[in-house]
Amino acid sequence: MAPIYNVADWYWRAADGRLFGSKASKEVPEDDPAFAAWTEAGGIPTVWPRDEEDEQTQEALDAVLAPNRTPNSPTITYKADIYRRCTDAEAESIEMALAGAPVRQRRLFESALHLDHSDEAFAFAQEAMVGMFGKKRADELLAAS
C-alpha cells in the first residue's frame, strides 16, 4: 500500500535527478535510508514543481512547501551545504570573492554556521553568487538546507 500523501513527509524528483525530502528539508541522495523505506512502502516521488519559466527550481518547490512551514521558523542554508553543492572551481571563486569582501561582511560569513535568508549576510552572498554564477546556479547553491 502506497503512503498517503503528506507534504511534511514526501519526496520530489527533478528531471536532472535531484531528489528532495520534505521531512529532511533538503536534497537527499538516492540511497538515503528513509527514502529507501518510503519507496519500499510503495512511495513514488512527485515531479518537482516548475516555476513560471518552466524550470524546476528550489523556489517552485518552496511554494508547495511554504503553507506547511511553521510561521516563525527561519529559512536557512548551512554554509557546508553550499560547499557540498558547488564544484571545486565554484568553491575557488567563492573564496576569491570572500577575500575581496569588506572585513565586516567577510567576518560575518566566516563566523556563521548557516545563512538566514532574512539576514543581510544572505543578501550579500546571494548578490555575489548571482554575479559570479548567474541566478539559477546561485539559487541552487543557496537553496534552503
Tens of pLDDT, residues 27-75: 899 998 889 989 998 999 999 999 899 999 888 888 888 766 655 667 8
Same domain, 64 and 80: no
Residue 40 lies in a domain: yes
Same domain, 99 and 41: no
- CA 62/CA 51 separation, integer angstroms: 11
Residue 26 lies in a domain: yes
Helices then strands, counting H and E runs in the chain, come out as: 7, 6
Q: What is the pTM of this model?
A: 0.53
Residue 5 lies in a domain: no
Same domain, 138 and 83: yes
Query: For the chain, what is the domain count?
Result: 2
Residue 1 lies in a domain: no
3-state secondary structure of 115: strand
Provide the domain limits for residue 86. 76-142
Residue 6 lies in a domain: no
